Chain A
């Protein structure tokens, strides 16, 4: 039986960086993966969707190029070619991960891991069962799409992963679920000219965001992209027959060629047999870990989606690095608490730290400052009608930046500055006094800091009532 200092289960964005960091710290490391290196993020999530969303974005720009004084002939797209390019991107990155693991001396084992005891793991591979010993174990098995029982089992009812394998794009799509995945797919499809309806049972789409950001995004999704959005009601009488899917919501009968279910994700723990290691899943099916990534069993750590966190690749990566360091060194490090959300809708959304609605729930006093992209030189230069704004949320006593949200072009890139500022506990004044390059969209952070301080140059203070 081969024994490793650290065994990592799952080669997604939580697992493979953990394996590399553990190897960098001198541990002998095995990484067990049952499907593809890179996990959901690289193969069926973040990366392939962004490849398609980018193409759809360029296509939308081609169609609106006339407003910039450009002449474009008849526009069209070849969806099969877009999918082939997407697959190529995934292959390139997957190969990159493979080389990184090899370069760091991580032993990659293909198969499904299950615990025999807290420090013995069986890898069920095509070649048979292999028993390995594990000094420390990091569980990073992630999540998979929930397909609730009320959905018909039919080829026209798919989750996001199955959708990405389609070779042609349907003409009409119902997106069930108005969370991040649902909204991203809805915008992607709508920009390719697909007729899209989104049905969300909660009162609004993207409930994690503040109301003003949701309002801005929803207005564009409905007005500019023509997406029908139903909120506060579920889709009922769902039926799939031949090439058609139907359902009713709010008295309307929706008919489409495809139903995309984006109803959340559930932790992957079934094959792990963690009870043999002395662990148990919680009521939500998650493996709980503390702020140091430790589970209830001293030698076992858990990171990423399987622990029930915010289901973000970059959070999983950060937790993976923390767990690897805590497993291999004596200096304990805590998980980072400040992280950005990046939502690749049209317009894009970025958010980090405290939201206004969280502050309200916690009864915290806050001050906010908002600045519209339309008031920026760069905003006008790149768009006739620049959408969106950025917003700071700060402590009124110390001026500490507690949260930020951005909605508009490149918001997912812009949120990085805000995340750094919040994590570094900068104050509003620090950002207000930092020279921001002109003309850029990032100026909005400085301008909104000025607004928060009541010193705006490029916005007129609203008259007090």
Chain B
């Protein structure tokens, strides 16, 4: 029986997904649980497993294409079975580099059932009836057409220059060969010392040699110059990076941030951790911070609230985001209902989420809904730093490294392990005094070993 494979809905807020790469080829045998393909959502790259057994009969959606949730991306069945003819969907706007299938292809739509992976597959029969393309936004009027004669275009191409800025003197402002020649002369093209191999590489890679640094100096334009220009070409950011960029920009530019720093003496906490370790209980500094923050948020409900500028919404539950740095960018898995979790439970929960984050296995739902975020750069040897508030929250705690520092105790200078923490707060809700009191509440808990002796 031929079954369609669909773009899964991996998170409640996901409307579409980008198919990054197929892991199976047409004709490959598929077992239940095999990784079929990888998709990229706003937050992560995820692997999609098969729920069927059979053979991959057809790939409908090519890598690099963004399609709505539940779009059929391929078919699994028995070898030789007939596959329904459906055209490949058009790529989404995020990936201009994707191969371009025929435009305005109908995109099969099916009601998106709520819930998480696994998604029930759409019965094959529905495909015929449900094929209506989503409305496409009207394209803005195209800019004036660039007109160029074939001879002029060829001269520009062979000279490795971009002709778009040349003023055309032909009919309708068409650029003709003479215009390109005049342009080359005016720009001193003949004085460029362009090596033959460099010119050929520039033509192949569509580099405009008139824009290169060596132009106009006695230096030659060599293959090295062109390779540098190729390396410097802007590359599209990954979708994940783009989302990080827009969210952080929105947060920093729309939320009035202010910062309060406290220095925590973690000397005794470190000793206590060693004692626990000797007893076979291993906790990280992060675990203690998670607990201290969860306790403090109960004391300061406004810090666990958000505002849209006119209303304040308190969140009765504490969902703690924990920033994890990955090669591809930052992810923030969320520990839900942290107010109910013991130190040991927080430890287990954080450990599992971080491991899943490093393995790229977090689902979008595991990365949303936090009410407060902790960013710990302790292992990165920093004295102090500030963090940008995660959109949808009112504060974030930036934790720096514990460093041996001179400190005054009983009017004596002693060496202590000092760890600085900086709270970034949304000044619309949180005033200076509240931020200071909250930061000190966290600090005091971390320094109060009797508390941990009860909680550990």
Contacts and interface: CB of A to CB of B under 8 A. Distances in A.
Interface of A: 395, 397-401, 424-427, 430
A424 B195 contact: yes
Q: How big is the B interface, by class?
A: under 10
B196 A426 contact: yes
Interface string B191-219: 00001111011001000000000000000
Closest 8 CB pairs of A and B: A400-B197, A425-B195, A425-B197, A398-B200, A398-B201, A427-B196, A398-B197, A426-B196
B441 interface: no
Interface in B172-201: 195-198, 200-201
A406 to B, nearest CB: 21
Contacts of B198: 425
Interface string B260-282: 00000000000000000000000
B196 A425 contact: yes
B110 interface: no
B248 interface: no
A399 B196 CA distance: 10
Interface in B90-138: none
B309 to A, nearest CB: 56
Nearest to A402: B197
A401 B198 CA distance: 11
Nearest to A426: B196
B386 interface: no
Contact of A397 (B195, B196, B204, B222): B204
Nearest to A429: B196
A424 B223 CA distance: 10
Given A425-B222, A425-B223, A399 B195 contact: no
Nearest to B220: A425
B313 to A, nearest CB: 57
Nearest to B203: A398
A426 B223 CA distance: 10
Given A395-B197, A425-B198, A426-B196, A400 B204 contact: no
Nearest to B221: A425
A430 B197 CA distance: 10
A427 B204 CA distance: 14
A424 B197 CA distance: 9
B224 to A, nearest CB: 9
Contacts of A397: 201, 204
Contacts of B222: 425
Contacts of B223: 398, 400, 425
Contacts of B204: 397-398
A401 B197 CA distance: 8
Contacts of A399: 197, 200
B408 to A, nearest CB: 44
A380 B201 CA distance: 39
Contacts of A398: 197, 200-201, 204, 223
A425 B196 CA distance: 6
B193 to A, nearest CB: 10
A417 B83 CA distance: 62
Among the interface residues B197, B198, B223, which one has the most CB atoms of the partner chain A within 10 A?
B197
B71 to A, nearest CB: 37
Contacts of B201: 397-398, 400
Nearest to B226: A398
A281 B19 CA distance: 56
A438 B196 CA distance: 25
Contacts of A426: 195-197
A427 B195 CA distance: 9
Among the interface residues B195, B198, B222, which one has the most CB atoms of the partner chain A within 10 A?
B195
A426 B222 CA distance: 10
A27 to B, nearest CB: 22
Contacts of A400: 196-197, 200-201, 223
B242 to A, nearest CB: 31
10 contacts: A398-B223, A399-B197, A400-B196, A400-B197, A400-B201, A401-B197, A425-B196, A425-B223, A426-B195, A426-B196
A29 to B, nearest CB: 26
A427 B197 CA distance: 6
A364 to B, nearest CB: 13
A15 B222 CA distance: 29
Nearest to A397: B204
Nearest to A400: B197
A399 B198 CA distance: 10
A369 B197 CA distance: 18
Contacts of A425: 195-198, 222-223
A427 B196 CA distance: 6
A259 to B, nearest CB: 46
Nearest to A423: B195
Nearest to B197: A400
Contacts of B196: 400, 424-427, 430
A424 B198 CA distance: 10
Contacts of A395: 197
Nearest to A331: B218
B158 to A, nearest CB: 13
Contacts of B197: 395, 398-401, 425-427
A397 B226 CA distance: 14
A252 B200 CA distance: 56
A427 B200 CA distance: 9
Nearest to A425: B195
A62 to B, nearest CB: 45
A164 to B, nearest CB: 41
A397 B201 CA distance: 8
A399 B204 CA distance: 12
A424 B199 CA distance: 12
A433 to B, nearest CB: 11
A68 to B, nearest CB: 41
A398 B222 CA distance: 13
B100 to A, nearest CB: 25
A226 B210 CA distance: 59
A120 to B, nearest CB: 36
Given A397-B204, A400-B200, A424-B196, 13 more contacts: A398-B200, A398-B201, A398-B223, A400-B196, A401-B197, A424-B195, A425-B195, A425-B196, A425-B222, A426-B195, A426-B197, A427-B196, A430-B196
A53 to B, nearest CB: 36
Nearest to B201: A398
Contacts of A401: 197
A400 B227 CA distance: 13
A398 B200 CA distance: 6
B229 to A, nearest CB: 14
A427 B203 CA distance: 14
Among the interface residues B196, B201, B204, B222, which one has the most CB atoms of the partner chain A within 10 A?
B196
A395 B195 CA distance: 15
A431 to B, nearest CB: 10
